[in-house]
Structure 1
Amino acid sequence: MAGAIETEEAPPRVPGRRLLGVVRGFITVHVVAIFAQPVFAGSYLVGDYDMLALHALGADLVSYLGLAQLVPTALLWRRGGPRWPFWASLVLILGETGQYFAGLAGALDLHVPLGVALVTCASIMLFAIWRTGARR
């Protein structure tokens, strides 16, 4: 028809898409902080004794990030998104709490292998959250 105005339809809005981005951001920053911990510990073990203070500060940061990460993952679940990020974050923060207290107690026989497990779990979460919602 002559004179008809053509309108383009906006792409369908994906619920929670922006929130998924927030969750991805939290998990990414959390993983970077977790990966820094063995670097600080290794530097301490080879003789840079000032790195122990940085390792302790990193432990605080990792714990706070883990707790903060629970909020957007819970909101994502509540808005109809996947629930696994919340439960994985909860398991991760419980492990990090055990890790924190094992480090304070000097229980390296628990602290080191638990740290390896936490880095592994956090890495899996990172890859999984970036694949979530990748399909159209």
Structure 2
Amino acid sequence: MKVGIAYDLPRWEEKNIIQEAKNEGHQVIPFYSKQGIFYSDSNIDIEADLFIQRNVSHSRAVMTSFLIESQGIPIVNDYVTLIKSENKAFTTFILSRADIKTLELQSVWKRICSFVGLYIRISSRNKTDRRKLGQNDSEGTR
């Protein structure tokens, strides 16, 4: 089988995937996506039976997955999956619809808001303390 691997940063994972695919007897076709310039009517001139999406850049991953899929080549990590999984709210909603246990989004937001609230209270307290120091200093110099 001809396996294409779309990547933009050759990390050890990509090198390992390439080596393991070769060990299994597959022909590996690396596709370094930073080399190409892609337009909406672009065709990727690579013949593969399957692609594996490994781009680190989310926008590059979405675009290359879309172009590869539009040519009828199946890809692991298709563009729709990439779009849905980028947004945590969408991902949580989709997982909960599939009866997969997740933290309730509301409790996550409560945690985030309490942290932000704590940060704001500490910041405003520090500003108040600085203003008091400034008032004390100006009173002493009068």
- The TM-score range, normalised by the shorter chain, is under 0.3
- Rg larger for: 2
Which of the two has greater helix per residue? Answer: 1
Q: Which has the higher contact order (CA 8 A, sep 6+)?
A: 1
TM-score normalised by length of structure 1: 0.26
Scaled by the length of structure 2, the TM-score of the pair is 0.25
